[in-house]
Chain A
């Protein structure tokens, strides 16, 4: 489904990803862990086509097709979704208005008819239940004044509405209380599907207790230095990253 082949990427001339290779099969959940500044958010943004980053080598393919020449919205139309580590606050843009526009853009790209306001609201209500998102948030400006946890809830809510093929979840657990963590992890679990892959970036085993990955990778200094199964995350939790760095 998603193939990253020897990806090199830089920002403002500084190389951040230095030959990153990773393959996600359809329906798989992969966890990525790594120390601060290793390049995890960079990886997410590069997959989504953030204009600040330049890919200087390698390839990123979704279903065999390179994403590299595509604009961020074209990638979204092909089913790429990213939950932001730091969701942006956008005053004056209502969450529901924006999400309806986004959903209809994605539906049009998939060859599906647009949803009208009534059908959209119905769908939105249903998906809000999945992540226990308070209804009021839908009428507020996008993320404006949302608490850290509400922002993350809103990200997973949007994922549920947009039904992406590939979801990159960049620290969806940061800033969440224990109950919210359980709820959102359960929401994401419910979205696991045979034709949907997920790349789950986290610092903590805690998330992976709920959202058990098929594979775990350790990203250090712009490369995947170790891959394993779900138990690798437990090793990181107890031992940190030094032993991997040394072994690598």
Chain B
């Protein structure tokens, strides 16, 4: 039996744009996580690969961004420098046809930019490249609407020296599977904020990796709203590769019915790297008996010179808070909605002004 997607690749390879040898190398090296892979212990790669989907071009709508391969050569040259080709990313590297480039020259302010990527009933592999040169500031929203197939986008974010990038990332959809890779690269004194919302899809995994230069700071927040049998996995692998780097994680899962959330927040501080700070908080609110969450902090710190803290909670709505609200006249459902919305509020509040209202509306609609 040949490897998955091999034949499909041969059939379309010649028609794909860009560097053919890079694609071919990615395809040849393509391997998928197996059952024993710790990083995939709670999300079944086998289920994502159970059906081989035909590669198709999903829709790409851009507001303030340019089509990926039409951007300035220097910027486009960064493709593949933050993301790799292992696992599902390799599928993207082999098959991607286009996507979006958001480029901010040195000192520029760019945004709000909107990139809307549609899934389909096949394999969709768009790519987004965000390049903020030194001192630039970028605000971008990337929104995925899943189809019934497999959506495997790769988003690479480069923040140059003292640049700052804010990426608001939203996954919606009735069903469909997705493995999203967000690869962040922090320049010296740069800052990247990622706000990741998983509001739909049936199996969704969002992977965030980061590394960088001295004093680069990553602030990652996420919200999962799950019901039915939805499965959402936030998987973070953050490297504190340079002195003074910081990472902050705040993730909230709100799960109803039989929904399940997985959170892994791996922080690796390399030996000898001093003065770094890592915080992590992952809180889950279970609205039904059948809902569940797995939270793994995975702080791997071989280093005394790090300030690290983490906390994880899994709980239900607070009965005393519910009673307080009901005593004042709110019905059980109004009171629950208010408390559930409050649980999400810290993450929603951290979204930039330009996008906050639409995310608040999405959360409210889910709660209604």
Of chain B, the residue at the smallest CB distance from A83 is: B327
A126 lies within 8 A of chain B by Cβ: no
Of chain B, the residue at the smallest CB distance from A48 is: B327
59-113 of chain A: CB within 8 A of chain B: 71-73, 76-77, 81-82, 84, 87-88, 90-93, 98-99, 101-103, 105-106, 109
B342 lies within 8 A of chain A by Cβ: yes
A226 lies within 8 A of chain B by Cβ: no
Number of interface residues of A (CB under 8 A): 29
What's the count of A-B pairs with C-beta under 8 Å? 74
A50 lies within 8 A of chain B by Cβ: yes
Residues in chain B near residue A77, CB distance under 8 A: 329
Number of interface residues of B (CB under 8 A): 24
**Do A82 and B326 have beta carbons less than 8 Å apart?**
no
Residues A76 and B329 in contact in the complex (CB < 8 Å), given A88-B324, A105-B334:
yes
202-224 of chain A: CB within 8 A of chain B: none
B346: contacting residue among A48, A50, A87, A92, CB under 8 A: A92
**Do B326 and A73 have beta carbons less than 8 Å apart?**
yes
- Give, as a whole number of angstroms, the nearest-CB distance from A124 to chain B: 14
- Give, as a whole number of angstroms, the nearest-CB distance from B319 to chain A: 8
**Do B326 and A72 have beta carbons less than 8 Å apart?**
yes
B331 lies within 8 A of chain A by Cβ: yes
A158: contacting residue among B328, B343, B346, CB under 8 A: B328
A33 lies within 8 A of chain B by Cβ: no
Residues in chain B near residue A9, CB distance under 8 A: none
| Assembled-state Cα–Cα distance A71/B334 (Å) | 14
Of chain A, the residue at the smallest CB distance from B320 is: A88
**Do A106 and B329 have beta carbons less than 8 Å apart?**
yes
| Assembled-state Cα–Cα distance A101/B334 (Å) | 9
Residues in chain B near residue A101, CB distance under 8 A: 330, 334, 338
**Do A93 and B339 have beta carbons less than 8 Å apart?**
yes
Residues in chain B near residue A76, CB distance under 8 A: 326-329
A109: contacting residue among B323, B329, B332, B344, CB under 8 A: B329
Residues A105 and B324 in contact in the complex (CB < 8 Å), given A90-B342, A92-B341:
no
**Do B330 and A73 have beta carbons less than 8 Å apart?**
yes
**Do B338 and A93 have beta carbons less than 8 Å apart?**
yes
**Do B324 and A87 have beta carbons less than 8 Å apart?**
yes
Residues in chain B near residue A141, CB distance under 8 A: 342
**Do B321 and A88 have beta carbons less than 8 Å apart?**
yes
Beyond the given A73-B330, A93-B339, A158-B328, please list 10 additional residue pairs across the A-B interface where CB-CB is below 8 A.
A48-B327, A72-B323, A73-B332, A76-B327, A82-B327, A87-B324, A90-B325, A90-B342, A98-B325, A102-B325
Task: Give the 8 A-B CB pairs with smallest separation, nearest first.
Answer: A92-B342, A105-B329, A102-B328, A92-B345, A72-B326, A76-B329, A88-B324, A73-B326
